[in-house]
Structure 1
Amino acid sequence: MPAKREELLSLAQQPEDRLLISQLWDKMSQAEKYFQPACTPFLDLRQQNLCRTAMERMGNRGFFLYGGYPQAERRLALFLPDYMETPDDIPLEDNPICALRARPRGGVELNHRDYLGSLMGLGIRREMVGDILVSPQSADILLTAEMGEYVRHNLEKAGHASIVMEPAALENLLIPPLQFKTLRDTVPSLRLDAVLTVAFSLSRGEAAECIRRGLVQVDGADALKGDKPVPEGARISLRGKGKAILAQIGGLSKKGRIQIEVHKLI
């Protein structure tokens, strides 16, 4: 039996979680009532995990986490009416996400912070901005559809460079390859503190201290327990040290330790 709204609100760990859960319920009802796609703004990884948990209790009725392209990190919670099966069924003019390509003049290379800072300078809230895909000579910026024209006509500078904005098709995004260093090792268990030692070259004590200080996140959520198991595919971030992905969990070594492969993002 699907959960009721009050039951879903019990999942909230932070005040803003209650708002997100209420928004999920409203968007789901909106899609069912008006037979049109309905969605939230863009969500971070922690918010997406909360949405997954809530919608598992609701039965996942027409629910998708959609970021404009398959590998997207920032995604919005999307609800489709019964006659649509996937986000690909949404007509182009109704797509909740649009993309713009920013080209710096003079061949200047800019970074993610340059572009995001300029968007924030226009008064755009972070939740209206999806992934920013930075290439050497351009950046593809994903936005909620209603922000597209405003940004296109008002974003004229990023970092220290003037830029030219033009529309970009979601199917033609310039997606930079993920750059990482592959680390292979064995651990006694899949506890977070054990995986951290491999991902960031820490001692077990240093890993435990980082967790205690609240410096670690797993899939966007604060990780405060060193004994929590890390699932395959989890994204781990350590403040000041970077990000890593537990890419593969293998079999046991001859000494009974678990073989793992970690991708440390560069």
Structure 2
Amino acid sequence: MSIYQHFRPEEKEFIDQSHNIKEQVKNSYSPKLTDFLDPREQQIMIAIAGNDAEVKLEFFGGGEYAERKRALLYPDYFIPEKEDFQIVLFELIYPKKFIAMEHRQVLGTLMSLGLKREKFGDVLISGDSVQIVAAKEIENYLLANLDKVGKSAVSLKEQTIGKIIQAEEKWEEMITTVSSMRLDVVLSSLLNLSREKTKALIVSGKVKLNFKEEDNSSEECREGDILSVRGFGRCKILSIDGKTKKDKWRITAGRQK
């Protein structure tokens, strides 16, 4: 049975990368560190490497409730420390009396520096405090190049990882039934919207499936999928629990509060 059949075609490249990293650890008998992975990529990594007796796997993104994390794959002799994840935490220094920073504004600025998204972890905002989690290997580049967000001059101050903003995610669990696992049908049920409204959201580019924009209303949802809808938050398909007597799918999902 092929591992690919459990995932989407577009995930094949990451599956292959995960498998190659696992084999490198086994062959070299030394640890390997990935870039930051989103929750879906973490699930795939667990599926590929999580059950291999010769390779151990840990994730760390700076804090207990981090969403984006680096994965460390290592042989059984190795005892990982937090320092092995090569993560730095920065506080954004800016004129707080005059400016309110937004997540998309900060992330957009980071991306404009020419660095890959995979080199950044979470961008955390609590009140007027803004923190950026990044890979250690881009530390000097960030310090030298991040001097403005929008029209505001900014600077970075490195903080110890223990001072990270701890923003706990809260999910409200729900059980529902749907006539099919189509994206528009599932969203309609989870968000309590009409099919027409969910289709309009999808077509207009406001829906992400596993952190990638999805404009196909008929795309089939699967267990473990994370659905993000601009203006409505996130939903997660925790499990697909089979069919009812009326031939509908029963699913357990979480909706972010």
Q: TM-score, normalised by structure 1?
A: 0.69
- Larger displacement relative to structure 2 (151-160 or 63-72): 63-72
Q: Is the 8 A contact 1:36 1:80 kept in 2?
A: yes
Out of 235, 241, 250, the position equivalent to 1:245 is: 235
CA distance in 2 between counterparts of 1:139 and 1:219 reads 25
Identity, % of aligned pairs? 24
Q: Deviations over 1:182-223 (max 9, x none)?
A: 697854679565542343231246547767999754444758
How many residue pairs align between the two structures? 245
C-alpha separation in 2, matches of 1:183 and 1:50 = 23
112, 117, 130: which is aligned to 1:126?
117
- Checking the alignment, whether the CA contact within 8 Å between 2:68 and 2:121 is kept in structure 1 is yes
Q: Distance in 2 between matches of 1:124 and 1:212?
A: 29
Task: Report deviation, 1:83.
Answer: 2.7
1:187-202 equivalences under 5 Å are 187=177, 191=181, 195-202=186-193
Distance 1:100 1:176 in 2: 16
- Cα RMSD (Å) of the superposition? 4.2
How far is the alpha carbon of 1:65 from its aligned partner?
3.6
Counterpart contact for 2:90–2:156, Cα < 8 Å: yes
What TM-score, normalized to structure 2? 0.71
Distance in 1, Cα, partners of 2:63 & 2:161: 7
1:13-162 correspondence to structure 2 within 5 Å = 13-14=9-10, 17-18=12-13, 20-32=14-26, 36-56=30-50, 58=52, 61-84=55-78, 89-90=80-81, 92=83, 94-107=84-97, 108-162=99-153
2: distance between equivalents of 1:149 and 1:134?
23
Distance 1:154 1:208, change over 3 A: closer
CA contact (8 A) 1:38 1:78 kept: yes
Structure 1: runs of 5 or more not aligned: 250-255
Give the drift of 1:179.
7.7
Distance between the aligned counterparts of 1:259 and 1:154, measured in 2? 47
Residues 169 and 256 of structure 2 are in contact (CA less than 8 Å); yes or no, is this contact kept in structure 1?
no
Alignment of 1:214-229 (within 5 A): 216-220=207-211, 228=221
**139-148 or 189-198, which moves further after superposition?**
189-198
Q: Distance in 1 between matches of 2:52 and 2:238?
A: 31
